[in-house]
Amino acid sequence: MIDIRKISQEDIHEWVLSKGGKPFVSKQIYQWLWQKSATSFEEMTNLSKTLREQLSQEFIFNPIKEDKTQKSNDGTIKTRWKLHDGHLIESVLIPVPSDQRYTVCVSSQVGCSLTCSFCATGKMKRVRNLDAAEIYDQVVEVNRQSLETFDHPLTNIVFMGMGEPLLAYNNVLESIEKLTSEKALNISAKRITVSTAGIAKMIKKLADDEVRFNLALSLHAADDEKRNSIMPINETNNLEVLMDALEYFHLNTKNKISYEYIAFNGFNDSIEDAKNLLKLCKRFPVKVNIIEYNPVEGVDFVKSKADRIESFTNFLKKNNVMATLRRSRGKDIDAACGQLANK
């Protein structure tokens, strides 16, 4: 049977008419699916019993199901979800009550194909892209967690979990359409950030598609030689090509762009590295998030020493770059940046 959340509102409308139903019923069904987040036909109580039975005979739901939840000492909550085909993914709730900020980090793929050397997910093979509904479900379920645990709804959504979002392009954009549509969850696109390891042609496609969300580049090194050594994607999408694509994105959307920069001790945290990064920050407005490295089994990198990362950050600030040092959260449950591997 067909997963009802894989078909369009127009298809639902045609199905309802074929059963002799009134046109407004298709709007009711769509509302149950994407505004009320129903995962069974029994929940659709304003539909007739006959229609609900007809729906259940022809369509199914494939919602994600909680498999394991871990809570960090700092309040971070990581959840492993089981998909309908048995595969596993993870998402993370990152609460910062002092800032009234409650962020969900969602996955877009089962595994990842980019093999970044510092990332636990990169050591897993990519199995498949997530469906739009599987991404949507992560937001809905983690929002419930946030309300139950912190009495506060989610404030932000970041596509920084397992997988490369721009290699799951259509499904990611469809999920964001469902999250932001007035007919669905009506979340502001400005509260959504999609992170990419750097696929230039897809960054340009985002601009051409006139997306309204923010974009983050997982940069981690500001010269090609170093970036090639830790991120193989850079060999076909070098920094010059990426900067051209990001400038195109900025000129066409005016959306916020940020660089994610994990600081590795003795590798990319010198003042010379900061000077290289400064050059990349001068072409268009950009914010730099400097991130503590989180240990990954089998990886030799260690996090930058406190004095080096502070000097690096201060150099950028003195040169009028908006730079923020982000402390890692959820390290004790393998929920921090680069650690997601279904553990």
Q: What positions carry a catalytic annotation?
A: 90, 337
d(CA 42, CA 40): 5
Yes or no: say if 203 and 194 are a contact pair by the CB < 8 Å rule: no
- Sheet strand arrangement including 77-82: 65-71, 77-82, 88-96, 101-105, 156-159, 192-196, 214-218, 257-263, 287-292, 322-326
Q: Do 115 and 167 touch, CB atoms closer than 8 A?
A: no
- The one-character DSSP state at 222 is S
Q: Where are the alpha helices (DSSP H) in the chain?
A: 9-18, 23-34, 49-58, 132-150, 169-180, 200-208, 224-230, 239-253, 271-280, 306-318
Placement of tokens 């002092």 in the chain: 98
Output the CA torsion sign for 201, 204, 209, 213.
Answer: positive
Query: How far is residue 181's CA from residue 246's CA, in Å, rounded to a whole number?
Result: 26
Q: Which residues contact 14 (CB under 8 A, 6 or more apart)?
A: none
Rounded Cα distance, 306 and 184, in Å? 45
